[in-house]
Amino acid sequence: MTIAAQTNPGLTAAEVAERVRAGQVNNLPPRSGRTTWDIVRANVFTRINFLLMALFILVLSTGSIVNALFGFLIIFNAGIGIVQELRAKRTLDSLAVVGEGKPMVRRDGVAGELAREAVVLGDLIEIGPGDQVIVDGEVIEASYLEVDESLLTGESDPMLKEPGATVMSGSFVVAGVGAFRATRVGAESFAAQLTAEASKFSLVKSELQTGINQILRLITWLLIPVGLATVWVQWTRNQGTWQDRVLAIGGALVPMVPEGLVLLTSLAFAVGVVRLGQRNVLVQELPAIEGLARVDVVCADKTGTLTENGLRFGELEVLDGDEARIRVALAQLAAADPRPNASVQALAHELPLEGPGWEVTGMAPFTSAKKWSGISFGDHGNWVLGAPDVLGTPGGTAAERAEEVGSTGRRVLLLGEADASVDAADAPGVVVPRALVVLEQKVRPEARGTLAYFAEQDVAVKVISGDNATSVGAVTGSLGLDTGEVVDARTLSDDPVEFARTVESAGVFGRVTPHQKRQMVAALQSNGHTVAMTGDGVNDVLAIKDSDLGVAMGSGAAATRAVAQLVLLDDSFATLPHVVAEGRRVIGNIERVANFFLTKTMYSIILALLVAVWGLPFPFVPIHISFVGWFTIGIPASILALAPNAERARPGFLRRVMMFSLPSGVVVAVATFVAYLLVIAPAGTDAARATQASTATLLTLMVAGAWVMIVAARPYEWWKLVMIAVCGLMAFLTIFWLPYQVPGWVAAWPFLARFDPQLDPSNVALMTTGLWTGIIAAVLVEAIWWFSGRFTGQRRTLWKPPEERD
């Protein structure tokens, strides 16, 4: 047991039990942000479901079961939404348990890791570099403890914490070690609002969701007057029975409801979460999936991203002094460091301490800002270890030799002896170089392929590291990455414009401070880029927080994982291509689905409005609309929503969707109405002829709607052509084969009379008129597709290029 543990042993088991009974525990919101009941309620009790239910009951009252089949959409929509969101919730919860940081809590004098929910009021929590403060507290022990509170206060400089000082949850340790007593836990602590916020399953604050909400608001405002006009006209002008009037009202109103748009949007997001979860990627904020699709610059830290976290001792090159004394000094430095980083751990493994440890009279923990650490050992001297170009004399022998060794891609540290205590205000003072410590770092085997993927996808990679620029350039060069200029960040201009220009043009940066990483992200964003920042260390926290998409390594610092939108739990850089591809698939397919449903809603509203203005009976009953929905929208949209899609998403989602869907909806509606006018007069007024006119009009709508599907499915692949062919065959059989089979079925099973589709394609003249009108509409839709692509700058191709095919 350490002296600190003897002095401050923490709570006893009895005290912990007492606080648990009193409810003084660190209860936090659910990791996924929504309970099971929240998910069920959100998917069942929706405005769309209420509207469909009302129409379902109304149509069912007529006794026509076949026309009420659309009611199963309520069960289908809610069921699929609930199942997929519950799957996503389970994925998020299980991954969050693995990925979240666990505090080191001291109880009965023994420190051990606990789940964050197990912390109680008064617990003593030990902290060190990279640890996040998970609850509010008062510092009890501190050894050169520095805490970064910039995420809370905006203060960029780390704060030195002495015993008695307060620490706030959400801050993180950048240097030193210490312990604090929890004074506020659970909902009372700032952690309940900050750290839990990172794990919410949400669909907010994204261009995509904002665009869909605007579409739904537009549809809602159009539905009210058109719906009222339709009900009035069909009830007062329709000469049929009350059942005929109700079916006409249902046939007009049902297709106006964009029931699939919200379902398939949430479905695509939820499936994206599950797919990424299967690759050990924790999605901490759902809108991050949208960010994945838009990323065009990836800022990658070298250590832990391109190279593995662990380091191996390579060699010791003595510059001045006795090698035996230098080796002992290195062993003492490694043994005295309370929270050694990867470099010090490599030294400790190679040079284990033999004999008693030297008395520590001063300590300066390593920070990314100053790039050195040191310990004063009284009469044994003041020893410092860090970057040769920081501790050494510029242009000196040690610096030049370190540059030469670093050009091979190895990490080089300078061991020096200072003339003043390392914790003095002017430390390190004058440093006498004693030796160069060469450490080996292993390049991740998957790094080359990952960088090649980004190059193929027009995603720029910026390697940003705190290491020597020459060493970083050597590593990236060995991976075949053509990043252009290699820049030492200490030479970057203070002028924001010049700084942004250099960051834009160069690809490798060394000796970058945490503050500069943050500036680089901001500079790239100011140039219009969507930036992903990857990292694993505490020095990456601020840049990850400010980036459009923060990606943390699972083995990285707890603070880094807490602020990132994505956590790669297996630390595999090779996962990133799959992550980006998944984001593109989700967003690209949701845009495609939006084109389907907005077009359908627009032509339904406009057709209903035209019929109401002319005072005509509505040409369709609900089952007709269901046929159109199944074969031109529902089935293909469900397939395309989950299909591969590698095209990078671009801003302007709402504009692109509107440019295609609104004019296409107008064309389909007008063509269908014109066909109705052309066939309704020759058909006459008897029920049989009216059914023939309705069937011919349905053919127009089916052909025009099918062409919307055909152009929205582009660029083509073999499976898309199969999908189009199957949907076309099913539509053909429904119109031209099914009506001739129903009489025989009803004769054999009379109860099937309730399922009569009310179709009659026997009038060749009317069907020909309907077909040609539909073909004309298809030609206009084709023209709109090409024109909208040129107007919005969207690439238009019929076939997917061979290199992009699955």
Two structure tokens written together for 253: 């109103």
Q: Strand 297-300 relative to strand 460-464: parallel, antiparallel, unpaired?
A: parallel
- Percentages helix, strand, coil for the chain (3-state, rounded to 5) are 55, 15, 30
Q: What three-state secondary structure class fits 174?
A: strand
**Furthest-apart CA pair in the chain: how many Å?**
113
**Counts of helices then strands in the chain (DSSP H, E):** 29, 21
Distance of CA 708 to the CA centre of its chain: 30
C-alpha span between 79 and 575 (Å, rounded): 31
Instruction: Tell me, letter by letter, the H, E, C secondary structure of 609-670.
Output: HHHHHHCCCCCCCHHHHHHHHHHHHHHHHHHHCCCCCCCCCCCCHHHHHHHHHHHHHHHHHH
426 burial type by CB count under 10 A (0-12 exposed, 13-18 middle, 19+ buried): exposed
Contact 435, 317 (CB under 8 A): yes
Amino acid letter at 572? S
- Which of 367, 404, 442 minimizes the C-alpha distance to 146? 367
Q: Which of 123, 136, 301, 540 is catalytic?
A: 301
DSSP H helical ranges for 137-206: 150-153, 191-194
Torsional sign, CA 167, 173, 174, 179? positive
- Which of 313, 286, 152 minimizes the C-alpha distance to 208? 286
Respond yes or no: is residue 301 known to be catalytic. yes
What H or E segment, with its residue span, contains residue 531? strand 531-535
- Which of 599, 593, 707 minimizes the C-alpha distance to 643? 593
Place of tokens 């149509």: 59
Query: Is the omega angle on the peptide bond into residue 622 within 30 degrees of 0, that is, cis?
Result: no
C-alpha span between 422 and 425 (Å, rounded): 8
686 burial type by CB count under 10 A (0-12 exposed, 13-18 middle, 19+ buried): exposed
The number of residues making up the chain comes to: 806
Q: What three-state secondary structure class fits 386?
A: strand
Return the active site residues: 301
